[in-house]
A and B are shown apart, each in its own frame.
Chain A
Amino acid sequence: MSQFVTREGHGMHVHVLPTKKYKMTTIVVDLVQEIRAETVTGMALIPYVLMRGTKQHPTAEKLQLALDDLYGATLHTAILKKGDRQVIDFTMSVPNEKFLNTEENLFEKALEIIAGVFIDPVTENGGFSPEYVNAEKEQQKKRMAAIIDDKNSYARERCLEEMTKGQPFSLPRLGFENELETITPQELYSLYQKVIKTAPTQVYVIGDVEPEQVFEQIFRALGFERTVQDLFAPSQRAHEKREVKRVVDHMDVKQGKLNVGFWTNLDYDSDDYCAMLMFNGIYGTFPHSKLFLNVREKNSLAYYASSRHDGLKGILYVQSGVEFANMEKALAIIVEQLEEMKKGNITDQELDFTLKGYINAFKTSLDQPTTLADSHLNGLVGGKMRSHEELIEQLQKVTKDDIVRVAQGVQLDTVYMLRDKEGESHA
């Protein structure tokens, strides 16, 4: 299996994966920062302001025209939350011209566009354009408000927020509405200048490309003087043991959303990381898992009931959508199935199916360029690189005893319910 070829220069790490299998070329640029209350709101606004225009393509319309002219190349900027880190992400995808009736060098032109957005945004009086900043503040307020429109993700975010209250992780991905007002275009610009000059910067290029040539092109297009500061506070995974926290929100909904948060008490770089993956797979990730089987198949309580593992933060959470009257019953099953695992009630078949399921999932992810870049970045953020081959090898060594051991460290922390208004007075 092919691996990234990495070159360091200009304060950047450039990772190139040459492969003949894609018709497109993918370029990803990631700037990693600590998530902090003082900067979370500004950081989250920056990616949107950058997409308003560059010196060369000074409006959103002109920028989009330039992308469309490259056979519909796409460029997205986003703010990501990874454990206690915040990442400004640029992801670009451009067709490889060899499959088209064109003589243009689309990759070279794509690099010019991404470089413009990254380094040369429209500025005015030493700040971002006030017009663009104000317009994006308005859009950002709507994005913040719209979080409530998707009930599944709203319930998940609320559960994690309640669980991690007081920690940097609980800061909302988009920041705070009341702080938007006070940020000036100059402050935002100087925050961004600081970020691009100091943040550890990873660049990924995946496609039918020649690495040496790509290194040269990337350093030329994106390179400038940087002094990288990467001494971040370690991610906070320890926590106080406490009584289970129960939170109920009421809203005009037809289905109850049940979310349960657990601490895994495990570091990302732990040798037990793969045992935790196996635990999560058996508990609630696959269709053969205990949650799917017991909440959905045996008791017909839900259409979905699944667990996810956030290894960067040491959190495991369960999501399900159930009738209001059945929420306690579903919760009891979710808790009971964890207890079963702590007691060692794990079959050889569960072990076998879960191992095969992960091997399939990891190999499949090698087909997705953005997933390749993302899991590489997770390794950097988490402080432990594990290639897909290593992961598979380590998963194969996990025993039932290992899984029981990590299961015993899993601790129920927060139960969150989103339900109708009827139950409000009784809650």
Chain B
Amino acid sequence: MREMRHEKLEISVFHEQLSNGLNVYVIPRPGFQQTFAMFSTKYGSIDREFVVPGEDNAIVVPDGIAHFLEHKMFEQEDGEDVFNTFARYGGSANAFTSFDMTAYLYSCTDNLAENTETLLNFVQAPYFTEQTVEKEKGIIGQEIRMYDDDPGWRVYFNLLAAMYEQHPIKIDIAGTVESISHITKDTLYQCYNTFYHPSNMNFVLVGDVNAEQMMTLVRDNQAAKDFTRQPEIQRFFPEEKPSADKQRVEQHMSVSIPKVQFGYKDPSRLTGRELLVNEYSTAIGLESIIGRSSALFNSLYEAGVVDKNFGWSYDSTPNFSHSVFGGDSKDPERLLGEVEKAFADVVKNGISEADFKRARAKLIGRSMAELDSPRGIARNFTSYRFKDAEYFDIVSVLEEITLEQVNQRLRDHLVPDRRSVSLVLPK
């Protein structure tokens, strides 16, 4: 077990890679009541084409299967629902699937060992039957329908579908009612056997715990199971052009006010500290030009063109990167026009030293705020580990970023032909 100390933040990370390849991280947070643990695989909705270990050719699996698999993991061979097993120990369990990871988690205030064993054991004991797979189609079908009626969700996925021509990020994480109809217990096992090997997974635990004890518990649990080493997983992604596939898409729904999102596709494909520098220099730039205290946001707010829910985000991964801006607007055309002008101006002239410093301080403070949530720590730490980046380095990376780096990033990122616009309009 190795300790990585982040002195200024008063936080330590204890790490060990077990012999089966599993990376285990324990992050003590004294004083907190809850312990939050997350057992995650680097496998999400974008992993649709890959080679099953032991086979020769790549297969393409139905859209939405990673999420479907996440649902089905909660069933156990003895017939007991995993939620019940956690309930017995007072643990609260959940799971989620994103573009590039699937996570199983619990939070608890008692019975730490039992809850941890339960989490490790159920994720490593898949049990699917044709009958239970069919039953799940009804439940997930209703989950998909719920998102169909959610304008915020629609405007976002329509934007991704416009930006990307080939990349599977354009596909809804849960798939469609049609695509999930093709899922069988055999395809679920193929996905499970490929992606749920310990060497493709992380276990992260945050709470007021003794690191050595927790590490021993996980180590012993894994040593009792029979995992042979698995070679690197072969995944395939289609070639994606740098420009936006479609400039603009629209959908009509029963909403009171137009929802607008726009964003820029970004060719950055980075990992490690480079990824953090790229992500946070972009973030400082975007916060400066359109964050809550920017002149642009405030002129749009004063004019009633946007409200306070307007925001921006920048996602950067080894596999895809893009920014998204948006919110509600009674006048999307004016919003888009003014933003376009302001962005062109900032690409030409850069942001000021004062705006740079303020945005940087703000982002430092915001990443500190996340440290008060064991859930936030576990989630972000895991996600950055899958990108080979160190979550607790963010503050030090932010402190090192220069104005020149930010202005260069804005020039590289805000390229007009990489922009797409998505609108959800009232019927």
Contacts and interface: CB of A to CB of B under 8 A. Distances in A.
Interface string A351-373: 01100110111011011010000
A146 B328 contact: yes
Interface string A297-325: 10011111000000000000000011100
Interface stretch (B18-26, B44-52, B211-219, B299-307): B299-307
Interface in B91-143: 91-93, 107-110, 135-140, 142-143
Nearest to B10: A99
Nearest to B292: A64
Contacts of B110: 356, 359-360
A101 B7 CA distance: 12
Interface residues of B, number: 70
Interface stretch (B145-153, B193-201, B317-325, B402-410): B145-153
A288 to B, nearest CB: 5
B292 A148 contact: no
A149 B255 contact: yes
B257 A255 contact: no
A286 B358 contact: no
Interface stretch (A18-26, A239-247, A402-410): A18-26
Interface residues of A, number: 68
B31 A19 contact: yes
A23 B143 contact: no
A10 B421 CA distance: 53
A300 B139 contact: yes
B330 A255 contact: no
Contacts of B176: none
Contact of A288 (B33, B84, B363): B84
A95 interface: yes
A224 interface: no
B142 A23 contact: no
Contact of B254 (A20, A251, A255): A251
A302 B142 CA distance: 6
Query: Top 5 closest A-B pairs, CB basis?
Result: A21-B31, A300-B138, A71-B365, A72-B362, A72-B365
Interface of A: 19-24, 59-61, 64-65, 67-74, 93-95, 99-101, 135, 138-139, 142-143, 145-152, 251-255, 286-288, 296-297, 300-304, 321-323, 352-353, 356-357, 359-361, 363-364, 366-367, 369
14 contacts: A23-B371, A64-B298, A71-B362, A72-B365, A74-B369, A135-B304, A142-B330, A149-B259, A253-B254, A303-B146, A356-B87, A359-B109, A360-B90, A360-B107
Interface of B: 8-10, 29-34, 81, 83-84, 87-93, 107-110, 135-140, 142-143, 145-146, 148-151, 253-257, 259, 291-293, 295, 298, 301-302, 304, 307, 328, 330, 358-359, 361-366, 368-369, 371-374, 399, 427
Given A149-B257, A286-B83, A300-B135, 14 more contacts: A20-B30, A23-B371, A67-B293, A93-B369, A100-B368, A138-B304, A151-B149, A251-B254, A252-B427, A255-B142, A304-B146, A360-B109, A367-B34, A367-B374
